[in-house]
Structures are given as structure tokens and as C-alpha cells.
Structure 1
């Protein structure tokens, strides 16, 4: 087990910055909370960029041993390629959501401190710290703690308005999360009893394909799937999104489910032996395929905009699971392509779905409702928000040159290259269905309202610019050369450091 690497201190600062900012916000309170949050999240983007650059330059993961003690006695923080890429994605989306939230969550003039704005900024910092802990942790129990922190921070943001309907929908989310936590924790107990450690690196070196290990992996997987809302465990996600404020929905869909997915990859690709993981991967991919088709079909039938976008999230999560049988198929070239495609899908979806939820909130605010059939006039009232929704939709559909297109193309070629053509058919069919519900929203928003209809209220341009910036990033990811994505291969088991697709 290697010790602290040069630059490992960056990982400590990445964790300490939002946690320290949250404590400072509690201490100073009032309007200081907003300034502290914006400063901490802005510095977080710089730190995440420095971590990614250091990992890319070294061609190896960064590591830091807390207290100087190596596992199993100590705790290790680690940033490999996927952690660095997702950390950078999360930091940019968090900063964008913070800038978007300034309009709706500013402290009112003449008031020293208001409950909802203060809670928004402090819990936003708590969410940032929990995401960093979930992405940089290398111990399965500490990752469990990070996921719990993430759940309660996200729940608090989703319930800020204090409506009874919000509490009912978020309690359903909490119910699924707690069941998932119990299953995950039971799995970690089995692993600890079998191997005496929960460090991912040590488990990867010693895990066997025996009954306790496979049972532990099955329990942990079931718990993480409940948190990710993979079909058919998706029942909590649509109502949770429908009742949450736009900023909270953007974070739930764009980032919170991605932390659980990265942990799922840790279990399946790092800890589990290749033979049982490869044999069971088609089952998870099958659930992903069902999520793509069922989620897209249900989204097509939705009458409310936020529910449409929420069921779109159910569908888009499914694409992440298609990478598993392709990565574990035994073909090195296909595995590199599938790995890159899956990580790029996670990143581009985070930007696109955050832009889509923020835009949906602006469109609903402009027209006074979120009925899909009556969005006429939104294109005039909030043109940038409608454009952002359309660009994000292009990425979700997989139209070039978006990041979603590049991700789906890599998964397609990996599926065809390994002879698993049925996954390619699912990807193409899902893209067509996605185009259908994105078209419904755009067609309605661009329709000119009748002269007798109430005119939509124009909105301030600042939040729409944030949504548009996120949508542009989701498109720009597809314009980067493949060599720029060598980062995500660093630290993957069986991958050459920095290998391209």
C-alpha cells in the first residue's frame, strides 16, 4: 500500500474547504452565509481543477494517508481518474447552482437573517463536502457515512419551501435511502467479517469469489440501486423532483445519484473478482435497458414539465449501467471505450440535466404553471431558458457534437465490437424516445400564444444565463479530442495509465 503522494494535500483541502465554509457560515450567519458559500464553491472549482491536472500529469492516482497511518489502521483519501473527473464536474455544477440560486435565495432587504436563504447556503456547502467525501474516500464504511451526509443535505435542500407536499415526497426518498443504507451497511459488515478491512485497495487484492463476498456485493448493490433510483426502484425520484425547488432538483439529478454510481463501480470493478462480476453485469445492464425504455415512454406521457424531466432522469440513469457488461467483457479496447463512454455519459448528463431542471423552473415561473400542453409564449418570455432546455435535450438525445453523442457513440461501438448488439439497439431506441419528449416541450414553448391569452412574465436574465452555460458545457464536452479524456482511464484496474479510447 503506497503512502501519501506528492500533491496529496490537495485532497485534504478539497474536503476541508466546504466543511470549513459551512462552519463559518453557521458562526457568522445572515448575509455572510451567501458570500462564504460563493467564495468556497468558487475556490472548490479551482481545487478540483488542480486535482485533475495533478492526476493527469502524474499518470497515477493522488493519495493521502490521514494521520500518516496506512490502512487497515488508517484512512486513505484517493483521487484516481474517475474521481478527479467527477469531482471537477460536481464543483462546476455546484457553483452554477449557487449562482442560479442567488435570485431566489437571497436574504430579503432590511432583514438580518432569513431561515430559508441561510439554510440554502449552508446545506449547499454541506452537499459539496459530502460529494467530495463520497468521491475521494477509499474505505467502504467512510463512503457509507458520506452517502448519509449527502442524503440529508439533499433532503434539506429539497424541503426548503416547507410545503406539506414536499415533505410527503421527500419522506418517500428518505424511506428508500434508509432501506438502501441498511442493505449497504449489512454488506460492508459481511466484508469486514471476511477480510478484516474495508479499504478498497486491500479488498481488491484479497477478495475471493466465495459466498460471503458475493452476498455482500449483492446487498450493497441493491442498496446503491435504491439510492440511484434504477428501475424498478425509481418510485421515489419523480415525486421528489416534482416537489423540490429547481436548484435542488438540479443537484439531486445531476450529482447526488452519480456519487452512488461511482461507489457502485468501486464495488463491481475494483472489489469483486472479474469472473462473478462479468457474469452478473448483464443483469444490471438489463435493468438499465428497462429504465431507458420505460422511463422514456412514461416521460412522453407526462402532462407536467418537471415530471417529464424527472422521468427523463430515470431513463438517462439506465445508460450508465450499459457500460458494465462492456467493460467486463474481456476485450481491452472495448473496455477502454465503454469506460470512457460511461464516465462521459455521467458528466454530460450532470451538466445537461442540471441545465434542464433550472430551465424548467424558469419556464414554469414565466408562464405561471408547468403544464406541457400550455407552454406557449415561454420562448418569448425566457428565450435563453428555452434555448438551454433545447441544447441540454440535444445532449440527452445524443445528437452531434454534444457530449451525450460522444458518450453514446463510444458505448455503441463497444457494444458492436464485443458482439453485444442488443445494447446498441437500446441506445438508439432510447435516443429516439428522448427526442420525442424534448420536442414536445420545445414545440409548446415556441408556439405564439393567442392574443387573448395572458402574457407570460419576463424573467431576470441572470439565472437563464447560468442554465445556458451549463447546457453549453454539456455540448462542448463532445468537441474535446479523445486525448483530453485520458484522465478517466487513470487508476482503472487493467487500464494503462492515461490510455485513450
Structure 2
């Protein structure tokens, strides 16, 4: 165990304790328990982040003192620490935003929906922390399943027929993806006798059983990530969930399976990184950028537009695979691509969480989210419209925004490595994103058609959404160079 190891256990135990106490004590304890556990979870995540940053080394905790392959090892490297901090901030913001919809007054009759929502939100936090810290393919499977079975009910928590249908479709894709992943993990265990990622990195060879296992696991994870063309479940699921739920689903949940894809190809099975396979992943990402952006441009409802833009923005993440070459880890462009890919994930998480919250507030104020009838939104909820505009800058990749920094780093790496196709897609995706963002903003700043009844929206909820959007502006000041933090603990370090 390294210094700070118990913090890793605490990051997993805190959400479990919160869920058990809520189920035991009931919904009337929500106002007392939820703020305490949200604040404690945020503090633990920040402490892990600071410790990894200052020490320059990963935090390791061997559970029960049992070493792999029999025991479980929790490990927080640079990207784990960053992802845990991002998750904690967005979960806490979503919790504060959701209190107006899912709060429980101690004096009011106890309702079932609030306690279900908070248990699901805490379970998502638990699953993501376990996913970021686990170093075993089976433990990662368990965390992934917990994430799925906490996210699916969040889609249909309101109970309408449309959201139930969307949740069932989501569940179908997720279960199919889990089956493929588990089958691949079984093949790996049968061939190499271990599922520990550190051990597998030196055992896996370029042989048929390894390629079949990697293909099965990757396809299963792509279904959970909603990469084109396995994206059909995402738009109705994310658009149908409550605003706080949509923010968490789009900002965090789909990133969990992407994180595992990276672990699989860069840490567990780096010997299998054939150029053709990496180019294929990037090609699917390019298709997602273009088709997702075009479909977003054609939507008539605001939340569906935001959901389809998630399909598009996920595609940029997959340019990381061909641009980070393990064959030449000393190449200058590797560090640019590695940093750009993770910065894209982080900036998209904050921008999309803010955008879904803003869309929810606009729909709450106007009573609908029809894009053609959004006139008067800027007057009714100005901070929500400002939030949408700032988040849109990041999606477009326009400075100053984290999205610009991320896309610039990916663009530089693409040109530097001579992979011009991805550079063209990055530019085209930004232009189409500008088209759908400005289309919506143009409607929002137009005067209302008259006779529209505006519902009051709490100013504090607008401030929460705006705060997340402002983080995307702060990310613009990240140096346009390889980040040492994101390289801490890497088995093969991009230069």
C-alpha cells in the first residue's frame, strides 16, 4: 500500500454507506444525509487528485493484503485521479440542481421517487469510482454492470411510456454489450490464467484467442459507449431522462465504458494494437462526428439535439487510438494526442452537463422544448441561455474553451503524424456544431410569439448550470502541450 491508499477504499465505501442509510432511515433523512455524503465524496476525490498530482506517482491499495491474481488491487493513476475529480464535481452539481425536483421535506409525506433518484445517483458515483480504480477485468465488469443498472432506471424514473421504451432499448444494448465483454474476459482468463491488467500487459500475445477476445470486449463496450452505429439507444434515453439525470448520463456514464476501452487497448493488451484496428476505431469515431452532428442539426426538440450532439462529441475521443502510437512512444505527437483526447472528454463532460441542465430549465420556463418556438427564452431565463451559449462554444471548438484546446491538440497531432483525414473531420465537425448551436441561439434570442406563459425558474439552478459551463472556459487555460498529470502511472508513457 502506498500513502493515501485508504482514500481509495473510502471513495467506494462512502456511496455504499449513503445508499444503505437512505434505505434504512427513509426519505425524510434526505436533507440531512445527502449534503454530508456529497461533500465527503467530493473531498475524498479532491484529496486523491492532489496526492497523485503532488507525488507524481499512482496511489495503490491491496485489499485485504491479498496480491493478484487472488486479491483485488485498487490503483489511482493520473487519468483515474482526474476522472474521479471530474465525476465528483458533476455529481455534486447535479445533486444540487436536482433538489428542486427530487428533494424531500421532513414535514411532508414521504415520497418514493426522491429516495429512488438519490440511491441511483449515488450508485452511479459508486460504480464510476470502482471503474476508475479497478485493475482487474472481472472487477471492471462488475463495476460496469452496476453502472448500467443504476443508469437505466434513471432514464425512466418519471414513468412515462416513452421513457420506459427508451430505458428498455438502453437495457437491451447494455446487456448485449455486457455479454460480449464477459465472453471476451472468459477467453482471456482461459488463455492466460489471470484477469489482472498489470499481469496481462506482459502476457498477452498477438494470437487468435487474444484477437477474438479483444474484438468481443471492444464491441460490447462500444455498444455501452453508444459509438456510431451502436448509438440508437442514446438519444431517446438521454432526452427522456430528467434534466439532472440527462446531465449525469451524458457527461459521465458513457465515459465509463470509454475509459475501459482505453484500459483494454493501452494497458491490458498493448501488443494487439494493430494499426488497422486503431484506424477502424477512429473511422467509427469520424462517422459519429459527422452523422451525429448532421442528425443534431435536423432535430426539432432541444433535448434531442443535445443528445445527438453527444453522439457526435463521443466520436472525437476515438481519434486518440491511431494518434497515440505505442510503437514509437517517444514521438512528440503522442503526448499531444493523449492530452487532447482526455481534455476532450473532460471539457465535453462539463459542457454537456451544463447544456442539459440549461435545456431542462428552458423547457421548464416555456413549458416545452420545441426549437422553433423557443422565442423569448433569453428574456425568461437569461442565465440558462448564456450557459447554453458558453457550452456550445466548447462543442464547436471555438476559443476560449476547453473544447478548442482539446480539438487543437488532436488537430496538431493529426497533421504532425500525417493523418490528415482526422484533421478534416475535426474541422468539419466544428462547423456543423456551429450550425446547430447558432440555430438554437437564434431562436432563443428572438422575441416570443405572444401569449406564452412563462413559469418561474429558480435563479440558483441557473447559476449551478452556468458554473459548470464556466469550467469549460477555465479549461481553455490548460497549456497546449502534453500534460504530465495525465501520464502519471502509465505503463507506456506517451512523450
TM-score by structure 1 length? 0.96
Is 1:44 the counterpart of 2:41? The answer is: yes
Inter-partner Cα distance in structure 2 for 1:359 and 1:170: 23
**Residue of structure 1 in register with 2:148 after alignment:** 151
Q: How does 1:238-317 map to 2 (within 5 A)?
A: 238-274=235-271, 276-317=273-314
SS of the residue corresponding to residue 75 of structure 2 reads strand
CA offset at residue 99 of structure 1? Answer: 0.3
Aligned residue number for residue 432 of structure 2:
433
Match of 1:85 among 73, 82, 92: 82
Q: Is 1:413–2:412 an aligned residue pair?
A: yes
Given the alignment, which residue of 116, 120, 133 partners 2:117? 120
Consecutive unaligned residues of structure 1, counting only runs of 5 or more, are none
- Deviation above 4 Å: which 4+ runs of structure 1? none
Distance 2:66 2:86 in 1: 30
What is the 5 A alignment of 1:166-245?
166-245=163-242
Give me the whole-angstrom Cα distance separating, in 2, the residues matched to 1:43 and 1:473: 21
CA–CA distance in structure 1, aligned partners of residues 414 and 65 of structure 2? 44
CA distance in 1, matches of 2:17, 2:220: 30
1:323 pairs with 320, 323, 331, which one? 320
Task: Provide the rounded CA distance (Å) in 1 between the counterparts of 2:270 and 2:163.
Answer: 42
Report the CA distance between 1:453 and its aligned residue: 2.8
Is 1:160 aligned to residue 157 of structure 2?
yes
Between the aligned partners of 1:259 and 1:253, the Cα distance in structure 2 is 11
Contact 1:376 1:444 in 2 (8 A): yes
CA contact (8 A) 1:209 1:273 kept: no
Q: Which runs of 5+ in 2 are unaligned?
A: none
Structure 1 residue 170 displacement after superposition: 0.5
Indicate the residue corresponding to 2:351 in structure 1.
Answer: 352
Contact 1:22 1:125 in 2 (8 A): yes
Corresponding residue for residue 464 of structure 2? 466
> What is the SS of the residue equivalent to 1:76?
strand
Secondary structure, counterpart of 1:185 in structure 2: helix
CA distance in 2, matches of 1:272, 1:344: 24
User: For the residues of structure 2 that align with 1:322 and 1:482, how far apart are their CA atoms?
Assistant: 17
> Residue 488 of structure 2 corresponds to which residue in structure 1?
490
| Aligned partners of 1:209 and 1:272 also within 8 Å | no
Contact 1:268–1:277 (CA under 8 A) maintained in structure 2: no
Paired residue secondary structure (1:65): strand
1:33 touches 1:122 (CA, 8 Å); kept in 2? no
Q: Following TM superposition, by how much is the alpha carbon of 1:493 offset from its aligned partner in structure 2, in angstroms?
A: 2.8
Deviation at 1:5, TM superposition (A): 1.3
SS at match of 1:31: helix
CA deviation map 1:417-437 (0-9, x unaligned): 101111111000000000111
Residues 43-72 of structure 1: CA distance to partner in whole angstroms, max 9, x if unpaired?
212111111111112212111100001100
Secondary structure of 1:64's partner?
Answer: strand
CA shift, 1:18, in A, is: 1.0
Q: Does the Cα contact within 8 Å between 1:396 and 1:434 map onto a contact in 2?
A: yes
8 Å CA contact 2:335–2:483 kept in 1: the answer is no
TM-score in terms of structure 2 length: 0.97
1:311-362 deviations in whole A, cap 9, x for unaligned? 0000000000011100127362111111100111111100000001110010
1:57 aligns with 2:57: no
Alpha-carbon distance between aligned partners in 1 of 2:481 and 2:77, rounded to the nearest angstrom: 17
Deviation at 1:485, TM superposition (A): 3.8
Whole-angstrom CA distance in 1 between matches of 2:245 and 2:274: 34
Shift of residue 480, structure 1, vs aligned partner: 3.1
Secondary structure of the residue aligned to 2:123 is helix
Native 8 Å contact 2:31 2:105 kept in 1: no
Task: Verify the 8 A CA contact 1:108 1:114 in the aligned structure 2.
Answer: no
Q: 15, 18, 23: which is aligned to 1:26? A: 23
Which residue matches 2:393? 394
Deviation at 1:263, TM superposition (A): 0.4
Separation in 2 of the partners of 1:336 and 1:230? 24
Q: Distance in 2 between matches of 1:476 and 1:485?
A: 16
Q: How big is each residue's C-alpha offset from its partner over 1:66-102, in whole Å with a ceiling of 9 and x where there is no partner? A: 0001100100101111111111100000000000001
Aligned residues between the structures? 493
In 1: Cα distance, 2:442 partner to 2:83 partner: 33
The 3 A distance-change label for structure 1 pair 59 and 277 is farther
Q: Is the Cα contact below 8 Å between 1:209 and 1:276 reproduced in 2?
A: no
Whether 1:477 aligns to 2:475 is yes
Q: Structure 2: how far apart are the matches of 1:165 and 1:108?
A: 29
Pair 40,229 (structure 1): closer, same or farther in 2 beyond 3 Å: same
